[in-house]
Amino acid sequence: MLFGTHILLFRLIVFGILALAQGYLFVRIRQVIRGSRRPAQFTFRVTCLVGATMGLLFVLNAFLVFRHFPWVDPPMVAQVGLLYPAAVWNFGSVFSALFLFLTRAAGELGRRLGWTRRLATAPAPVPVDPGRRRFLRAGVGGLATAPLLLSGYGAAYASKAYDVQEITLPFGRSLRVAHLTDIHAGLYMTREEMRRYADLVTALQPDLFVLTGDFISNSMSFLPGCAQEMARVRARYGTFATLGNHEHWFGTLREIQGVFQRHGISLLNNAHRVLRTEQGPVAVAGIDDLRTGSPDLEATLRGLDRSIPTLLLSHRPEIFPQAAGHGIPLTLAGHWHGGQIKLSVLGVDVSLAHLLSPYPEGLYRINASHLYVSRGIGTTGTPIRLNAPPEVTLFRLA
């Protein structure tokens, strides 16, 4: 209950920021409209139209986030006409408003400093050039649209431009393992998209297919379709999964187990399975989500012969130090989406994930143990990815 309260408070803070940003943008846009020298009736109507459009996009986005709308496989016209415009506008507007606010603040500071210098030196006043002022305003307005353009790019293209990573690691057995994580089936991850990823994984011809949680976005209504599409992959030694935080937020262990069982996917929740391969036994272990579940690494490994090479599945990567302490050669995780929206400044990656976790994405090592954190294929919060493309990972273990 307390955790749910924290989530609600976080969402209220986010939407408070969105409301402030869009209120500020509306004020600035209204100023531009009123300064256009058009008839008063015209400017009034345009201002009302702009305000109504902004309000509609804001309310629609809030409704989709707060109500957990279980619209399974929305048609393309709904995605293009309703869902994506609302998401792109709400995300991009924050940075557009911030840019305009900082630009105005810098201009005001410059004017104040110039006014102070003029008092000291008393130079002749410089006439204002209206053409130059209009040019500068147009330039600032153009730059202010850049965040919206980037948001649109992130939703329309970057989220679809998946990356296939092929990684070779020592393991003690020769095995091809395909890994997907953070599918987030929902309004922005349809059956068609999931089928495309399942077909891609099948083409990689994996011996083992593993999934590390967050199968759904915000409703259990999306889980059966997700499980059905992932079951299309036929791996030699089967498909194994573990739970993420979104499954705990919106479902129960019993109903999730039932869905996976009906589709032939083995759910490992603080449990392991020993596979008999041609080169000897291999163990696949799965631990519950580290924050929203009931994780127990000791229970997960109980009764397992430690000489058997073990692949640990965990939604969150922060289990890695404990896994390495148990001598587990490879841990696979996700959760952080590689930042989802990431900046690279002077060779340093900056995102919320990179600030919150020591393992936001990629390969890590402690002694002989490795951790790989996938960027996943879905999105959360917003359907936008920037500088963190979706990822399908194939491990060539040896």
- C-alpha neighbours within 13 Å on the C-beta side of residue 32: 14
The answer to whether the Cα torsion of 214, 216, 218, 223 is positive or negative is negative
Supply the pLDDT for residue 136.
47
Which residue(s) pair with 197 in the sheet? none
Regarding whether 270 and 252 lie in a shared domain, the answer is yes
Cβ distance 247 to 255 under 8 Å? no
**Separation between Cα atoms, residue 50 and residue 53, nearest integer Å:** 5
Regarding whether 338 and 288 lie in a shared domain, the answer is yes
Q: CA-based Rg of the chain, rounded to a whole angstrom?
A: 26
Q: Which one, of 114, 79, 94, lies nearest residue 13 by Cα? A: 94
Supply the pLDDT for residue 135.
46
Distances (CA, A) of 300 to 63, 181, 374: 39, 20, 22
**Separation between Cα atoms, residue 285 and residue 211, nearest integer Å:** 12
Regarding whether 337 and 273 lie in a shared domain, the answer is yes
The last residue of a domain, from among 104, 127, 156? 156
Regarding whether 195 and 102 lie in a shared domain, the answer is no
Cβ distance 169 to 163 under 8 Å? no
The last residue of a domain, from among 105, 135, 156? 156
- pLDDT tens across the length of the chain (398 residues): 445 566 677 778 888 898 999 899 999 999 888 888 889 899 999 999 999 999 999 888 888 777 777 788 888 888 888 889 998 998 899 889 888 888 888 877 777 776 555 555 555 555 555 554 554 454 555 556 778 888 888 887 777 788 899 999 999 999 999 999 999 999 999 999 999 999 999 999 999 999 999 999 989 999 999 999 999 999 999 999 999 999 999 999 999 999 999 999 999 999 999 999 999 999 999 999 999 999 999 999 999 999 999 999 999 999 999 999 999 999 999 999 999 999 988 889 999 999 999 999 999 999 999 999 999 999 998 899 999 999 999 999 99
Regarding whether 144 and 86 lie in a shared domain, the answer is yes
Regarding whether 55 and 173 lie in a shared domain, the answer is no
Regarding whether 245 and 125 lie in a shared domain, the answer is no
Q: Which one, of 323, 268, 271, lies nearest residue 302 by Cα? A: 271
Regarding whether 248 and 152 lie in a shared domain, the answer is no
Regarding whether 203 and 266 lie in a shared domain, the answer is yes
The last residue of a domain, from among 156, 176, 198? 156
Regarding whether 181 and 100 lie in a shared domain, the answer is no
Q: What is the CATH number of the domain that holds 300?
A: 3.60.21.10
What is the tally of structural domains in the chain?
2
The residue segments making up the domain with residue 232 are 163-397
Regarding whether 172 and 86 lie in a shared domain, the answer is no
Supply the pLDDT for residue 143.
59
Regarding whether 177 and 70 lie in a shared domain, the answer is no
Supply the pLDDT for residue 127.
55
**Separation between Cα atoms, residue 194 and residue 196, nearest integer Å:** 5
Cβ distance 207 to 190 under 8 Å? no
Full-model pTM:
0.87
